[in-house]
Amino acid sequence: MAPQEDTSLLPKKDELSHLEYKSRASDFEDIGDITLTSSPPNRLRNSLLNVFIVAASAILVVSFRTTILHIQTQTGNLVPTGPYRLLEAQYGSNFFDYYTFYEGPDSLGSAGYNDYISKEAATSLQIAGVKEENGEEFVYMSSSPTKDGPRSSVRLEGKQ
């Protein structure tokens, strides 16, 4: 007579299949004594939440870095990073001191559509200058349409 296998310690067939399903399924999350099912819309919501959190974190990091750079620029405490060395900070009212205004016709690239003008002409036409808003200086440049021909524009060339 063949020995019989003792099956009293093994789970019943229904229990075993339920346990196998539960262990294989990614649809279940255990939180303490509570088992929650995560349906596809919940997964999508969780994915979107994760994307939002990552995007918000990136925005905060960039905003923080921009704020620090602004403070360093305003106080003159710019610290070079990497192998670079800051030679000059070009901002605010002294920005245009580092450049010459090219005067003359445009190259063939735009078929002569722009006519580059002097610093004095650009300032009088208000297409180049420095504006102050809330105690902060902003450099602006633009162009000015003309009735009879090329647009008056600004072209800067670095002095160094």
> pLDDT tens-digit profile of 61-115?
888 888 877 777 777 676 666 787 777 788 888 899 999 999 988 877 767 778 8
Residue 119: per-residue pLDDT: 93
Residue 10 has pLDDT above 90, yes or no: no
Output the pLDDT for position 23: 46
| DSSP assignment string, the chain | -PPPP--SSSPPHHHHHHHHHHHH-TTEEEETTEEEE--HHHHHHHHHHHHHHHHHHHHHHHHHHHHHHHHHHHHT-----TT--------GGGGGGGEEE--EE--GGGTT-EEE--HHHHHHTTSEEEEEETTEEEEEE-EE--SSSSEEE--EEE--
pLDDT exceeds cutoff 60 at 31: no
- Residue 9 pLDDT more than 80? no
